[in-house]
């Protein structure tokens, strides 16, 4: 009688230990499950040919040390990678827009700096990069 | 005698320019894609948008009396026309997710930086004067709202 009671007690402890361990595994499992949605997200990347166009025609006004206050507040290429994905997508959409509209680089600036003028092909290259990447990034978090 | 003639000319010109059409954008009451009528936004955000932005950035502009008197009417009409062209919140639900993110980022930059509402606007619309706290809370809302676009 005494022995069986002691056995039962031990069994209870064992069951309890299993439940606790199981709970721990489950909790671990849950945290690892919630992560991939973040890592599936397509990252902001600039191919070399586009980067060259940015450096030549945009970067002077659109970087975080720029003297062009309005330009840098709207868009700083050197800070793009640090932004939240929602912001990155929004800015890529704006880049694609200004290129289709022919708003950037500003016309006045091009009169002074004709070297910054982009050819139709170059505009298309940068515009497609921005709109394709924005679409890919959007789908990756949907 | 001379000053009287000058007055007649001034009044005549004033009456004359009233005949020049101002091109004032139309007010449309029924906007099925409107941001505020489709989304339950936090109260302070909704009233900020309504009080400080909707006159220029929606189809529901409320025109003050001077919007009907030239030459001021020309200026008001121009602001509303350009405002709607750049961002019409009455069309919100017709935008793609990418466009919505673009506009949310644009609103955050403009309001965060004190560029919007246009500086002259709060002179006649004191309820559109925004404090630093108002601006910060609004910028935060743009980020929360952007995230909500992707949560189901």
pLDDT tens, residue by residue, B17-57: 999 988 999 999 999 999 999 999 999 999 999 999 999 99
Per this entry, what is the length of chain A? 142
Of the listed ranges A39-43, A92-96, B83-87, B123-127, the one predicted with least confidence: A39-43
HSE-CB for A123 with a 13 A CA cutoff: 14
Share of chain B above pLDDT 90, in %: 95
* Those residues with Cβ within 8 angstroms of residue B20's Cβ, 6 or more apart along the chain or in another chain: B70, B74
Which residue in B101, B109, B150 is closest to A93 by CB distance? Answer: B101
Please answer whether residues B104 and B49 qualify as being in contact, where contact means their C-beta atoms are separated by less than 8 angstroms: no
Contact B135, B112 (CB under 8 A): yes
Minimum-distance CB partner of A86 among B106, B113, B147: B147
- Interchain contact, B102 vs A73, CB within 8 Å: no
- Whether residue A11 lies within 8 A of chain B, CB to CB, comes out as no
Q: Determine the straight-line distance between the first and last CA of chain B, rounded to whole angstroms.
A: 77
A36 versus B25: which is more confidently predicted? B25
Q: Is the peptide bond before A105 cis (omega within 30 degrees of 0)?
A: yes
The alpha-helical segments, DSSP class H, found in chain B are 2-17, 35-38, 43-52, 54-57, 72-86, 97-112, 121-124, 132-148
Residue to substitute from A93, A100, A130, interface B, most B β-carbons within 10 A = A93
* A74, A89, A142 ranked by CB distance to B101: nearest: A89
Q: What torsion, rounded to 10 degrees, do the Cα atoms B87, B92, B94, B99 define?
A: 60
pLDDT digits (tens, 9 = 90+) for A47-106: 999 999 999 999 999 999 999 999 999 999 999 999 999 999 999 999 999 999 999 999
> Mean pLDDT across the stretch A41-46?
94
Residue A24 binned pLDDT confidence (cut-offs 50, 70, 90):
very low
Residue A109 pLDDT > 90: yes
Report the alpha-carbon angle B35-B39-B42, nearest 5. Answer: 105
How high is the pLDDT of residue A45? 96
pLDDT at A25 over 60: no
> Cβ contacts (< 8 Å) between B146 and chain A: which residues?
86-87, 90
SS3 (DSSP) at A106: coil
Instruction: Report residue A94 as tokens.
Output: 């704006």
The A residues from 103 to 142 touching B (CB cutoff 8 Å) are 134-135, 138, 141-142
Predicted TM-score (pTM) of the model is 0.87
Can you read off the two tokens belonging to residue A103? Answer: 């708003």
Q: Which of B129, B119, B107 shows the shortest CA–CA distance to B58?
A: B107
């Amino acid at each position: 009688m005494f022995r069986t009671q002691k056995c039962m007690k031990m069994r209870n402890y064992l069951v309890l230990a299993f439940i606790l361990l199981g709970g721990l595994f489950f909790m671990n499992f849950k945290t690892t499950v919630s992560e991939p949605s973040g890592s599936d997200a397509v990252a902001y990347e600039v191919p070399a040919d586009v980067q060259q166009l940015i450096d030549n025609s945009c970067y002077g006004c659109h970087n975080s040390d720029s003297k062009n206050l309005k330009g840098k507040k709207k868009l700083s290429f050197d800070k793009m990678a640090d932004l939240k994905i929602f912001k990155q997508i929004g800015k890529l959409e704006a880049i694609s827009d200004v290129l289709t509209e022919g708003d950037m680089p500003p016309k006045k600036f091009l009169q002074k700096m004709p070297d910054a003028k982009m050819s139709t092909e170059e505009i298309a290259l940068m515009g497609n990069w921005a709109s394709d990447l924005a679409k890919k990034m959007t789908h990756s978090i949907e | 005698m001379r000053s009287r003639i000058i007055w007649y000319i001034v009044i005549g010109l004033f009456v004359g320019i009233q005949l020049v059409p101002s091109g004032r954008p139309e007010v449309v009451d029924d906007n099925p894609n409107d941001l505020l009528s489709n989304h339950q936004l936090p109260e302070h955000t909704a009233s900020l948008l309504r009080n400080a932005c909707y006159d220029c950035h929606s189809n529901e502009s409320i025109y003050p009396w001077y919007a009907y008197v030239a030459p001021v009417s020309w200026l008001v009409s121009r602001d509303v026309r350009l405002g709607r062209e750049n961002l019409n919140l009455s069309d919100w639900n017709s935008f793609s997710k990418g466009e919505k993110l673009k506009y949310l980022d644009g609103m955050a930059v403009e309001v965060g930086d004190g560029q919007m509402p246009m500086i002259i606007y709060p002179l006649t619309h004191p309820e559109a004067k925004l404090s630093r706290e108002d601006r910060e809370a609004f910028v935060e809302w743009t980020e929360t709202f952007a995230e909500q676009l992707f949560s189901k």
